[in-house]
A and B are shown apart, each in its own frame.
Chain A
Amino acid sequence: MSEITPESVRHLAQLARIALTEDEIVSLTGELGAIVDAVAQVQQVAGDDVPATSHPIPLSGGMRVDEPGTPLTTEQALAGAPDHDGSRFRVTAILGEEQ
């Protein structure tokens, strides 16, 4: 059986910045446990001599010509933002009181 516990789901959710409800933590603990048990078999398949593949079609870094283009305007870049001050994205406090 996998080692997925409610505590580990809570920790992962915090790392992923998703404020899961307690009900979600309970259901995800069971679901993730079953999924991890099913996918864990990959560990038994390949030996040390098998290289990892990160990309299906290997391409070496293509270089483009360095020429000036037309980037988005500030207005375009901000148009979809939930909040901005006309030149920057605006967010709420980035530090908590204890910091």
Chain B
Amino acid sequence: MSELIRASAAELAQRLAAGEVSAVEVTQAHLDRIAAVEGDVHAFLHVNEAALDVARQVDADRASGEALPALAGVPVAIKDVLCTLDMPSTSGSKILEGWVPPYDATVVARLRAARMVPLGKTNMDEFAMGSSTEFSAYGPTKNPWDLTRIPGGSGGGSAAAVAAFEAPFALGSDTGGSIRQPGAVTGTVGVKPTYGGVSRYGAIALASSLDQVGPVSRTVLDAGLLHDAIAGHDPRDATSIPDAWPSMAAAARDGASGESLKGLRVGVVRELDGEGFQAGVRQRFHETLEKLAAAGAEIVEVSAPNFQYAIAAYYLILPAEASSNLAKFDSVRFGMRKDVAGGTVEDVMGATREAGFGPEVKRRIILGTYALSAGYYDAYYGSAQKVRTLIQRDFDAAFEQADVLVSPAAPTTAFAFGEKLDDPLAMYLNDVTTIPANLAGVPGMSLPMGLAPEDGLPTGLQIMAPARHDARLYQVGAAVEALLEAEWGEPLWAKAPRLG
């Protein structure tokens, strides 16, 4: 395979700017890789036919002496939950098959403004509901480390595309772990920014008070570069934070020196370790803590007693918001319509939604409808929102004792296809480590923590920081990455199977 596909986005940007390689060459290398491995991996739902044209224009503008943004000509993959003017946007659902939105999501518009080259749209669980991509209406994505296993979800397509060297980095979205859990099980880096840090305009909504768009990459620095490109206030998103953000890439570069671990207070969340976690995941986690301590970090145990209720609160708040958000798929304005002979528009809606939604989406819409119905609202939705307050208070207390909190990013390595498909509750438990950050709005990162000894599959370390302190994640994440890679002698991705 071409060495270009194994280069980081930061390296590609540097070589493009220096004129050592053209955007067309870089894009072609990735399109060739996609053609070679997609039969095995199925990370993409749509490959951008215009990618080479976009690259050609970047090369022409560079040749004419135009000053280009730092990431100009670097290819990027985009999760199918994001609206794109020139490519179908299905959110993994049959109900939106072939739908081409009339506008770009703000984050997509920002990628274009940065002159990056969109490679295509990546696979996902339908409307981002799932932890395995098995609920995609277009078939699952395979984990590049073991094609018989899930790549995580919902953003398994973006994570697998990056892990399989089909793209240097990608956009994902994270409502309860959909960036971080796929990152953990595919040996990649994924970041859920502070809620409001990145625009949700044009991200097909799952649960509006939880959704955040963020970067997926092979290195912490690359995630920071992509984060910088998409972050910042958007007047089209009423929940967008109006403040300016420091550079995440600069924080990552600063952190890579390793000095930032000295005296850092690392809080280990007692409730996110122990029972229910795979032995090899725990082993790698505790080894990582020992290395952090040896590098000068102070390891402190913190307790977040209300985290035990996070999944319960999440599976009331999310379905409630989703049932409301997905009401717009009504067979009138966009998407599919299933006609009913002699039926009213209501009959057509019912038939369309029955035919167009998959099993998990139906399950959550019905659950959300139940949680919001008269007589149950206070008992379920109202109580869940109070739990949310208690979880925020737990975070506040923990961040008084620690600068960052850490846990395994997922309780197990990648599981086999079908293993949890018939047991919704078992599938939901996968998100036990990631959900608290979404409920509290704080930023979280997953990064490679080594391979589990019992199955040789990637494990992930989760780092969480206080809201608005995303830069701290990058500083600490880059320090941890440098520490672990120095020990391994190479990055984890260098051990990934060479597909194709």
B363 at the interface (CB under 8 A from A): yes
B370 at the interface (CB under 8 A from A): yes
Q: How far is the CB of A62 from chain B (nearest CB, A)?
A: 6
**Bound CA span A9–B441, Å:** 32
**Which one of A12, A45, A61, A80 lies within 8 Å of B101 (CB-CB)?**
A80
How many A-B residue pairs lie within 8 Å, measured between CB atoms? 185
Q: A12-B369, A57-B194, A59-B241 are in contact. Are A46 and B389 (CB under 8 A)?
A: yes
B288 at the interface (CB under 8 A from A): no
**Bound CA span A79–B102, Å:** 8
Q: How far is the CB of A51 from chain B (nearest CB, A)?
A: 6
Question: Which residues from A are CB-within-8-Å of B312?
Answer: 38-42
- B195 and A56 form a contact (CB under 8 A): yes
- A12 and B209 form a contact (CB under 8 A): no
Question: Which residues from B are CB-within-8-Å of A95?
Answer: 344
The size bracket of the interface on A is 35 or more
Q: How far is the CB of A15 from chain B (nearest CB, A)?
A: 5
A87 at the interface (CB under 8 A from B): no
In the complex, which residues 346-401 of chain B have their Cβ closer than 8 Å to any Cβ of chain A? Answer: 346-351, 353-354, 357, 359, 362-363, 365-367, 369-370, 373, 379-380, 382-390, 392
Q: How far is the CB of A44 from chain B (nearest CB, A)?
A: 8
Which secondary structure characterizes the binding site on chain A? loop
Question: Which residues from A are CB-within-8-Å of B353?
Answer: 16-19
- A80 and B367 form a contact (CB under 8 A): no
- B332 and A89 form a contact (CB under 8 A): yes
Question: Which residues from A are CB-within-8-Å of B343?
Answer: 92
Q: How far is the CB of B119 from chain A (nearest CB, A)?
A: 23
- A56 and B387 form a contact (CB under 8 A): no
**Bound CA span A56–B373, Å:** 23
Quick one: CB contact mask for B438-479 with A, threshold 8 Å, 1 for yes? Answer: 111110000000000000000000000001000000000000
**Which one of B339, B369, B379 lies within 8 Å of A92 (CB-CB)?**
B339
Q: How far is the CB of A77 from chain B (nearest CB, A)?
A: 7
Question: Which residues from A are CB-within-8-Å of B238?
Answer: 59, 61-62
Question: Which residues from B are CB-within-8-Å of A55?
Answer: 209, 239, 441
Q: A28-B363, A93-B344 are in contact. Are A35 and B389 (CB under 8 A)?
A: no
**Bound CA span A39–B319, Å:** 12
- B366 and A46 form a contact (CB under 8 A): no
Q: A17-B346, A45-B390, A81-B332 are in contact. Are A57 and B239 (CB under 8 A)?
A: yes
In the complex, which residues 312-363 of chain B have their Cβ closer than 8 Å to any Cβ of chain A? Answer: 312-313, 315-316, 323, 327, 330-337, 339-340, 343-351, 353-354, 357, 359, 362-363
Q: How far is the CB of B141 from chain A (nearest CB, A)?
A: 25
A1 at the interface (CB under 8 A from B): no
**Which one of B313, B339, B386 lies within 8 Å of A50 (CB-CB)?**
B386
The size bracket of the interface on B is 35 or more
B309 at the interface (CB under 8 A from A): yes
- A80 and B441 form a contact (CB under 8 A): no
Question: Which residues from A are CB-within-8-Å of B195?
Answer: 56-57
Quick one: CB contact mask for B49-77 with A, threshold 8 Å, 1 for yes? Answer: 00000000000000000000000000000
**Bound CA span A77–B442, Å:** 36
**Bound CA span A28–B357, Å:** 14
A24 at the interface (CB under 8 A from B): yes
B235 at the interface (CB under 8 A from A): yes
Question: Which residues from A are CB-within-8-Å of B347?
Answer: 19
A32 at the interface (CB under 8 A from B): yes
Quick one: CB contact mask for A1-39 with B, threshold 8 Å, 1 for yes? Answer: 000100011001111111111001000100110111011
A86 at the interface (CB under 8 A from B): no
Question: Which residues from A are CB-within-8-Å of B350?
Answer: 14, 17-19
Centre residue among A53, A62, A77, A91 by max chain B CB count within 10 A: A53
Question: Which residues from B are CB-within-8-Å of A46?
Answer: 383, 386-387, 389-390
Centre residue among B210, B241, B348 by max chain A CB count within 10 A: B348
- B366 and A53 form a contact (CB under 8 A): no
- A54 and B333 form a contact (CB under 8 A): no
Q: List 9 A-B contacts (CB under 8 A).
A: A12-B369, A18-B365, A28-B362, A28-B366, A34-B425, A56-B209, A56-B441, A89-B333, A94-B346
Known: A39-B313, A82-B331. 20 other contacts (CB 8 A): A16-B327, A16-B365, A20-B362, A28-B366, A31-B424, A32-B363, A34-B424, A38-B315, A39-B315, A39-B384, A42-B380, A42-B386, A45-B386, A53-B385, A53-B386, A53-B388, A55-B239, A56-B441, A80-B334, A91-B345
